[in-house]
C-alpha cells in the first residue's frame, strides 16, 4: 500500500530543493562510480512516469573499455562530419527560447575562454559530448524507433 504524501509542505520543499540545486556538469574526475550506486539510480529512475505506463526506455550503461571504444567511434564520426544533425529543436526556435539559448551559449563558451568566432575551438568542445565529458560512466537512453517523439 502506498504511503500518503505529507501534507505539511515537506515533500514540496524537498522537491523544490532538489530542482533548485540542479547543475549541469561538463567536467568529471576519473573516480570510479560503484556499480551499486548506478543500479540504485536506475532503480529510482525506472519509477519515472511514462505515457500509459509504457516505460519505453532502454538504458545502456557504459564504462571502461566499452565506453572508450564507443567514444572513439563517435569521435571518428564527428571528425568526418557523419553524425546526424541534431533534431531536438524546431528549425525556428521561439524568440524567448532562442534568447535564453544564446545567453547560455555566450556564458558557456566565455567560461571556457572560447570566443564566439573561434569555430575550431567550439567544434573541439562539442567533441567533449562524445567523451561523456570524461565521466567514468556513461548512460545511453534509447527508445524503439517505431515510437513517436512524445512516447
Q: Given the C-alpha cell 575562454, which residue does it identify? A: 113
> Which DSSP letter does residue 135 get?
-
* Angle formed by the axes of helices 64-79 and 119-127, nearest 10°: 150
pLDDT at 5: 63
Q: Of all helices (H) and strands (E), which one includes residue 69?
A: helix 64-79
Please report, in tens digits, the pLDDT of each residue of the chain (151 residues total): 567 666 678 888 888 898 899 888 888 998 999 999 999 999 999 888 988 889 999 999 999 999 999 999 999 999 998 877 767 788 899 999 999 999 999 999 999 999 999 999 999 999 999 999 999 999 999 999 999 877 7
How many angstroms separate the CA atoms of 63 and 49, rounded? 27
pLDDT at 10: 86
User: Could you state, in order of their start, the residue ranges of all structural domains in the chain?
Assistant: 28-83+96-143
141 has which bridge partners?
59
pLDDT at 51: 87
How many angstroms separate the CA atoms of 5 and 10, rounded? 9
Whether 146 and 73 have beta carbons less than 8 Å apart is answered as no
Q: What is the pTM of this model?
A: 0.76
How many angstroms separate the CA atoms of 98 and 72, rounded? 32
pLDDT at 36: 97
pLDDT at 148: 85
> Is CATH 3.40.109.10 the classification given to domain 28-83+96-143?
yes
pLDDT at 27: 85
Amino acid at each position: 500500500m502506498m504511503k500518503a504524501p505529507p501534507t505539511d509542505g515537506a515533500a514540496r520543499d524537498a522537491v523544490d530543493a532538489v530542482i533548485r540545486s540542479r547543475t549541469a556538469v561538463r567536467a568529471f574526475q576519473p573516480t570510479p562510480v560503484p556499480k551499486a550506486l548506478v543500479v540504485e539510480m536506475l532503480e529510482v529512475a525506472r519509477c519515472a512516469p511514462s505515457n500509459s505506463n509504457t516505460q519505453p526506455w532502454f538504458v545502456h550503461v557504459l564504462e571502461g573499455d566499452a565506453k572508450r571504444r564507443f567514444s572513439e567511434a563517435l569521435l571518428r564520426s564527428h571528425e568526418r562530419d557523419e553524425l546526424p544533425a541534431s533534431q531536438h529543436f524546431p528549425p525556428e526556435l521561439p524568440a524567448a527560447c532562442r534568447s535564453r539559448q544564446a545567453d547560455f551559449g555566450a556564458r558557456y563558451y566565455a567560461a571556457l575562454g572560447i570566443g564566439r568566432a573561434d569555430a575550431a575551438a567550439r567544434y573541439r568542445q562539442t567533441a567533449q559530448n562524445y567523451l561523456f565529458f570524461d565521466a567514468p560512466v556513461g548512460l545511453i537512453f534509447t527508445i524503439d524507433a517505431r515510437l513517436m517523439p512524445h512516447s
